Amino acid sequence: MKLIVGLGNPGSKYVGTRHNIGFRALDLISSRWEIKLAEKRPKAILGIGSHLNEQVVLVKPRTFMNNSGEALRYLTDRFGTNPNDILVIYDEMALPVGKIRLRASGSDAGHNGIKSIISALGTDQFPRLRLGIGRPEQNLDQISHVIGKFSHSESPLISKTIATVLDLLDTMFLEGLDKTMNVFN
């Protein structure tokens, strides 16, 4: 069983923000794979189904980004999921808008959501997909940047990037993580 987790903040005021790009990616995955995100749990909203003969649980944490680990701990305990069978999709300021990076493991690199997950799982050995949101303009602080929305010129890039996530996941399910990193990084 694979857990595919999109990180973001709950609430209507965060819809469409840079920080919620993980939620946006998960919404597209849910739609294309016809796995409805409908099962409400205390810490997450789930969609349970299958894709390419693989059991899949789509996960949107109901916690705020900085507490995402609470949801992952709850779900790994419930489903008995190995951290290697988790893919976390989230925003990354260190990457330009539209760029993606898939990694098998690694540090939190200053991302508080990932820091929370590493702490809750007790390991940094889980795959993660970073979606580039770019750095803030000189006159904008980081918090305003991540909770801000994409510009009109960035929106087509983001739509294309999120569509690429679907191809990446198909490759990962069929060819494995290493091959997928070689193709998409």
Catalytic (active-site) positions: 19
pLDDT for residue 185:
94
Number of structural domains found in the chain: 1
Residue 4, pLDDT score:
98
The rounded distance, in Å, linking the Cα atoms of 75 and 61 is 10
pLDDT tens, residue by residue, 88-132: 999 999 999 999 999 999 999 999 999 999 999 999 999 999 999
For 138-161, what is the mean pLDDT?
91
- CATH code (residue 30): 3.40.50.1470
| Residues spanned by the domain of 14 | 2-184
pTM of the model: 0.96
